Structure 1
């Protein structure tokens, strides 16, 4: 698949405030080399529903911040490659970002497999890497140079099981794909169930290339679970809800954040109705209480994205919003782009109100999100997202 490089950046204005509360310096420092932001996202291909809003978000805010004066008196320069969700491409572009583009930080990895593939490279190069992948395995165990912004699949399945128990359910079936994110989610679904008193009565897997999951759902029906937990994303998630509607419509279906976009709902063609999904609060921002500390940031992001691209942002775009702003705030605190200092400051991120939650990172937690703010439980009604309270 064709790959492309976009180099984004406009001239620095000698000025005031950068977006996200980042102060821009003035004077001689404005003549320094631009701050180089490296990125790779699955802008095309099967995971484009993840990568497209991530790429658009990076482009939007690099431009916005530059127009506001940049950071530390320096403009931002964005080098972004389309990995098409391919781990091999991700490796190639990560090396290029480090060796040819000489970037100061890397943001990317729309899919968990991509992030896992590049971790050895960024660790060896000692460059900060903020992943956009959902799998726990990206930051567990903690690696010195690796961080991530999406909430974890462990948090997602924990929220699902909490709701199941509130509804009197005690038996679950799990259905997942064979990709990196799916495997991580499936592992957590099985592990967390043991600690929360949920019995897993069926554990089914499908290949990413499968176009029908009738055999899996037939076996699930025979196991008689109280509810089904879907671990997957993309086309696999769409096929899952369609087959569920055909074979096991009487059994409540849950999904984690891998399907957190309107594209999933529209692709399901009505089959997603009544499905409960753990998602970023972005998708239900207007339904949040006015006292919610994230609401202002969520609504501003939605407005700015929609004005620029003529569509509402998917939850996945918030991953790159948070990654970019956390990185730039760290650079400001570090007083520059020294990679070791920036890494240390990312790790010291405290009370950062982002799209995906309120971040508090530490040497033992390179994600920094908590159960309460990382996800909200929603239910699809009339093809829309509705907060479950």
Structure 2
């Protein structure tokens, strides 16, 4: 009798523990903290420790996985988080090709996905599947508009493009082609390369032969360096522009003097000390930078902030979603998606988010600054 009672007590305790665990909001995080795009994934993985652990009385737990920069591994990680861990939302993965390959699984399971990736293709054009995806980086067109405005202002008439042969580079090619034509800029060369390539000599020579006034490199992470340093070595003297994909410290370290004078548009984090104190995102970004630096011994790349902002978006949306369902249920996940879509004037590290059914990135001009490289440092372009 005593044995049966003890067993019953143990079973009840286990059930209570299981119910308590299910009561937590569970968030999966998939990053590429190893492999070719680890420079992007490492600060993202490191940022998980800084994200909100509680909203009111509601606990939030994070389950972090590494996909090794492999799109196939991203799919496996997503399926594990959805089918085995029964998460309420997923942040990640790091790379644009990786993200494009998992959208269907987020949609089929009705799990909100917050993508810290560069390519706007994860949310545009909006579809039934993509309505489950929210993007925590600035869309390509917002960044491109700032660059083209500068090109027009400085008299650029011809432009060479070189970008990665993946969704990031391809979407940038489409966006820049349309904007250039609209603003009277002729694209005289349009080249592609693989992220893992060790040489872009052939592509660079074709660009040099076209003699463009300026060149735009559209590549994420460390892959943004090689085309520009190759052009420098081959004697190119025109202005070089980069996308927000280059906004990380190793770009400066790897490029050295060969990337001096580069112009890009990116978040205020790169030039935080030069941004006016009344910028709505400055205090949020400052806190993130300080906390990350204290924890890791070095300042974060903006890519880490894209994951951190995903945590802030969820923190903001969870209270509303809890009114419609309990964590671990389809009702809660659906309500969480709806609440994310209704985000209004949320100041985060990268800018201010205003989501809508048509816009799942939600940035405006407060989410970008025009920046140049001067004496090996990021400097606000004035």
Residue in 2 that maps onto 1:105:
89
Is the 1:159–1:278 Cα contact (8 Å) retained in structure 2?
A: yes
Give the aligned partner of residue 17 of structure 1: none
Partners of 1:379 and 1:387 within 8 A in 2: yes
Distance of 1:345 and 1:261 partners within structure 2: 31
Residue 219 of structure 1 corresponds to 206
Aligned with residue 41 of structure 1, among 31, 42, 45: 31
Identify the residue that residue 7 of structure 2 maps to in structure 1.
none
Q: Is the 8 A contact 1:111 1:180 kept in 2?
A: no
Q: CA deviation at 1:171?
A: 1.1
Which deviates the most, 360-369 or 181-190?
181-190
Deviation at 1:59, TM superposition (A): 1.9
Aligned residues: 354
Q: CA deviation at 1:30?
A: 8.0
Determine if the alignment matches structure 1 residue 366 to structure 2 residue 360: yes
Q: Give the ranges of 4+ consecutive aligned residues of structure 1 lying more than 6 Å apart after TM superposition.
A: 29-32
The CA deviation at 1:196 is 2.2
- 1:60 match: 50
| Partner of residue 21, structure 1 | none
Query: C-alpha displacement at 1:148, in angstroms?
Result: 0.7
**1:376 equivalent in alignment to 2:366:** no
Q: What's the counterpart of residue 16 of structure 1?
A: none
Question: What is the CA–CA distance in structure 1 between the aligned matches of 2:84 and 2:56, rounded to whole Å?
Answer: 24
The higher radius of gyration belongs to: 2
- The one of 256, 259, 274 equivalent to 1:287 is 274
Out of 274, 298, 315, the residue aligned to residue 261 of structure 2 is: 274
Deviation sequence 1:180-228 (CA, Å, 0-9, x none):
2122222212122122221101111123332222222222122121100
Mapped contact 1:46–1:234 kept (Cα < 8 A): no
Tell me, yes or no, if the aligned pair for 2:371 and 2:380 is still in contact at 8 Å: yes
- The 8 Å contact of residues 94 and 118 in structure 1, kept in 2 or not, is answered as yes
Q: Are 2:199 and 1:207 aligned?
A: no
Q: Which runs of 5+ in 1 are unaligned?
A: 1-28
Equivalents in 1 of 2:311, 2:93: separation in Å? Answer: 14
Choose the corresponding residue for 1:341, options 319, 335, 338: 335
SS class of match (1:385): strand
Cα distance, 1:107 vs structure 2: 0.6
1:74-102 alpha-carbon deviations (Å, 9 max, x no partner): 32211111012211111000000001111
Whether 1:125 and 2:109 are equivalent positions in the alignment is yes
After TM superposition, give the deviation of residue 47 of structure 1 in Å.
0.7
* Counterpart residue number, 2:163: 176
Q: CA deviation at 1:141?
A: 1.9
> What is the alpha-carbon distance in structure 2 between the residues aligned to residue 205 and residue 120 of structure 1?
27
8 Å CA contact 1:31–1:74 kept in 2: the answer is no
Does the C-alpha gap of structure 1 residues 198 and 278 become closer, same or farther in structure 2, counting only changes over 3 Å?
same
SS in 1 for 2:195: coil
Superposition map of 1:1-389 within 5 A: 33-61=23-51, 65-66=52-53, 70-142=54-126, 143-335=130-322, 337=327, 338-370=332-364, 372-389=365-382
Structure-2 separation of matches of 1:317 and 1:31:
28
CA distance in structure 2 between the aligned counterparts of 1:355 and 1:331, rounded to whole angstroms:
19
The answer for unaligned runs of 5 or more in structure 2 is 1-18
Q: Distance in 1 between matches of 2:235 and 2:145?
A: 23
Quick one: distance in 1 between partners of 2:103 and 2:188? Answer: 35
Query: How far apart are 1:364 and its partner, in Å?
Result: 1.0
Distance in 2 (alpha carbons) for counterparts of 1:385 and 1:230: 17
Question: Secondary structure in 2 aligned to 1:113?
Answer: helix
Q: Is the 8 A contact 2:36 2:196 kept in 1?
A: no
Local SS of the residue matching 1:75: strand
Q: Distance in 2 between matches of 1:270 and 1:31?
A: 53
- CA drift of 1:359 comes to 0.6
Residues of 2 paired with 1:256 and 1:294: CA distance? 21
Q: Which has the higher helix share?
A: 2
Conservation of the 8 A alpha-carbon contact between 1:32 and 1:74: no
Give the TM-score normalised by structure 1. Answer: 0.88
